[in-house]
Structure 1
């Protein structure tokens, strides 16, 4: 691996969809002040300029057009090129790096979700990008009020947002739908991920995703691949240009954290539960498992809903994780039917499908002879928080309680989900007197905790019944990460309140 200083590197900066080389002006200036060579790629836009023919290259651009434009900048930059792709810009950057492996020494993923592979399109890995219609040749740019759909606008001054809206271009549809072609050698180019934490991307979350065993993410753990964080939203070149320039210099030098774990390290979701809970028999039905108590009468039930998105092929699936099986067994130990389930929240756009899975699971549970179908609680965790919204907006009479642990209570910016269907802060207006138990981890990721704060504000405004179980010294997922007195007390207190509302 070639490691450089900021002064030795030649940077080629590739912009996000709908933008151009102008977004890099302040970052480029900061890099040049440190002695670096900088080239800013201009990618062909959508609509032709005034007087330009409708069949001009800018109007008929596809992904290969953009890759060729990045290659020209790489060739002009010389040797030892660090190629930076922001959001969509990562896709043509990877294509260019693969074809100039003799020049490109590192690719920087700047707040770009996913790890594109050969055959992927931009739409496959970037859920925030709008889907063009079948007959559309270009995608119009976002309005000023819509830029959050591409990613968090945290840190952007109003003037910067005005400039984004004023200078935005349509995106040629074929740049989003044409497959990226990569050779096997592309995986050997060192990478650095620069994560924007206000967008929900953190090193801790990436480590957790890698620990789940998704083979698509395993290349991120290879030697030479590093990760850095910036405390801002999706547009650091506008909100924090000096910090971004410094991060790019560090990336060029191969600095940053590794995602590689020691061979004997047990992933957090497979570690022992914070309470010692005896094993119990279970009954498996379709995509759910029921853990009944010893009593043979019909009992209330607690349905535990895991978070996500989670890769489709991980094993074991969440209903078999020690985390959820212990929760269900603990509920059964206390006289209720504990239920675990698997749902298909594999990508941010899967919320509707996952919601159907949860509804189907609830119907199976309520119809079971061991369950009192008029006394059910739903308990959501982490990224499953948005799935609570439909139940909050119109709670059925048999739903006696809804609980959420360290939840994400709205889809994060740039995750391709809009509207209020999966926003608990909007849905809570319809909750009426439904009791809501919210376990709040004090050492939570700030981006997730901000969604909790907005939910609590909305609940207070409409008088919803929200009971907070505070765990000020606990982390996200504390039930297996923090084996402390406080963590044990938080689990017991939340369970006590949920079962109390069930009359158990």
Structure 2
């Protein structure tokens, strides 16, 4: 029999687990919800006396209060912010814990405060400013009704449950967000399960793709003691699907779940490193800083197509994005059409890096335009996947030399888990100002629902504003279709899109 100890996220108290706990008890398990000091009404305290260690002590007390008999196992469940006190407590009681469940949350690191995991960058700034004024004795007010999306998707949460969430919401002591998590390393031996809420923008396939990028820091996710589950709901599954959550927790406690495939020489070739569907030997690479140029032989200067890789891509990913077959293949396809193909690398390593990536792209484009082999007045930009948000600036104020903008399976609005609700990177808002700029959009027919919704909103906005949008559909294509799907699925769309871009560059 399992003993579940569950810790809620920011602003939410122990009562948020009520239905899930009841389901677990009905299944024959024990379920304990931890009231957190200074958040739960049952444990009032002045904010100045409450920090992350206070909540770690709350969880330790809950662990120590459980008298485990033969055959019982303690499973700690941390949702959102709650994973921080869970890890802190498990690190000090590792011998008593059989599994930790990360419920739709990040991976806290030793020495890093919970504030770093707050998805909304504007909120991080707000907390930091408040701390500078009040010290750690202040609080962060809970979201107003209608503002919970800044902390995660509310998909699936019904009206009554939403009213309950608002009613139970409590201020979060700043010290809980600002005090760094300190770990000895003992917790690393405890098996873990990640439960991802897909309507909040996360999925097991997405995590596998991050692992496939080859970042050594993510290798821990492929260890045999790590498993994953998905729930087709938003960020608060204890409110939207408590029975489904309870079922997943029981399976996780039993060691079930999907395991990730390690990256490396013995692993199958990941999708992003499979061959490009067109055989294009093309010109050799000419590396200039963060830009790789593929220049056709003969005269010039020539128009250029600048390809912008997607992301976020972990900083430790190997090989680097500009060496991926899709980017190299597109650049060589442009060169075969008589254009200069340019692959531009940028610093989009995290969802908080969009501003930096935008600056990197602007600088990289100027480097391309300054090359003597390039016609600086005839440039096209081509974006992929998560770099779709970075089309915003170019759509809103297209320079005269930008003759076309293309995008393949782009993300065209921030996904819920990214915490970019107030971000300026909103292509659907910018496209109404694109004027006569031609936009070529390659749309994957089997796109993930969350990304497809952003594309649909963009297309609707473009049509309403009479933007010059050309859709190139790949009906049976998936996200990353060039190296993921059969060549006969992708080749016609690639040729069609490139012909359109070249036409706009050479008019």
TM norm. shorter chain > 0.5: yes
Secondary structure in structure 2 of the residue aligned to 1:266: coil
CA distance in 2, matches of 1:9, 1:383: 40
Does residue 172 in structure 1 map to residue 173 in structure 2? Answer: yes
Aligned residues: 492
Does residue 22 in structure 1 map to residue 15 in structure 2? Answer: yes
Does residue 116 in structure 1 map to residue 108 in structure 2? Answer: yes
Conservation of the 8 A alpha-carbon contact between 1:11 and 1:77: no
Conservation of the 8 A alpha-carbon contact between 2:285 and 2:292: yes
CA distance in 2, matches of 1:49, 1:135: 28
Moved more, 373-382 or 307-316: 307-316
CA distance in 2, matches of 1:235, 1:42: 18
**Within 5 Å, which residues of 2 pair with 1:10-409?**
10-45=3-38, 56-79=45-68, 80-113=73-106, 115-128=107-120, 130-131=123-124, 132=127, 133=129, 134-136=132-134, 137-261=138-262, 263-409=266-412
Conservation of the 8 A alpha-carbon contact between 2:76 and 2:86: yes
Secondary structure in structure 2 of the residue aligned to 1:414: helix
Q: Which has the higher helix share?
A: 2
The Cα of 1:281 is off from its aligned counterpart by: 1.9
Change (3 A) 1:264 1:46: closer
Change (3 A) 1:58 1:12: farther
Q: Deviation above 4 Å: which 4+ runs of structure 1? A: 46-50
Conservation of the 8 A alpha-carbon contact between 2:272 and 2:325: yes
Q: Which residue of 2 aligns with 1:450?
A: 453
The Cα of 1:59 is off from its aligned counterpart by: 4.4
Secondary structure in structure 2 of the residue aligned to 1:145: coil
CA distance in 2, matches of 1:94, 1:441: 40
Moved more, 15-24 or 484-493: 484-493
1:186-224 superposed Cα distances (whole Å, 9 cap, x missing partner): 112111111101111111110010111222221111112
Conservation of the 8 A alpha-carbon contact between 1:46 and 1:138: no
Conservation of the 8 A alpha-carbon contact between 1:420 and 1:427: no
Conservation of the 8 A alpha-carbon contact between 1:385 and 1:408: yes
TM-align CA RMSD? 1.9
1:217-246 superposed Cα distances (whole Å, 9 cap, x missing partner): 211111121111111111111111111111
The Cα of 1:304 is off from its aligned counterpart by: 0.6
CA distance in 1, matches of 2:332, 2:48: 60
**Within 5 Å, which residues of 2 pair with 1:416-455?**
416-419=419-422, 421-455=424-458
CA distance in 1, matches of 2:52, 2:345: 37
Secondary structure in structure 1 of the residue aligned to 2:91: helix
Secondary structure in structure 2 of the residue aligned to 1:72: helix
Change (3 A) 1:368 1:272: same
CA distance in 2, matches of 1:159, 1:388: 39
The Cα of 1:253 is off from its aligned counterpart by: 1.0
Conservation of the 8 A alpha-carbon contact between 2:201 and 2:417: no
The Cα of 1:46 is off from its aligned counterpart by: 6.0
The Cα of 1:43 is off from its aligned counterpart by: 1.5
The Cα of 1:322 is off from its aligned counterpart by: 2.0
The Cα of 1:158 is off from its aligned counterpart by: 3.0
1:350-400 superposed Cα distances (whole Å, 9 cap, x missing partner): 101100000111111112211111211111111111101111112112111
Conservation of the 8 A alpha-carbon contact between 1:46 and 1:58: no
Secondary structure in structure 2 of the residue aligned to 1:401: strand
CA distance in 2, matches of 1:305, 1:144: 38
Moved more, 136-145 or 182-191: 136-145
The Cα of 1:157 is off from its aligned counterpart by: 1.9
The Cα of 1:261 is off from its aligned counterpart by: 3.6
| TM-score, scaled relative to structure 2 | 0.93
Conservation of the 8 A alpha-carbon contact between 1:299 and 1:337: yes
Change (3 A) 1:49 1:251: closer
Moved more, 419-428 or 161-170: 161-170
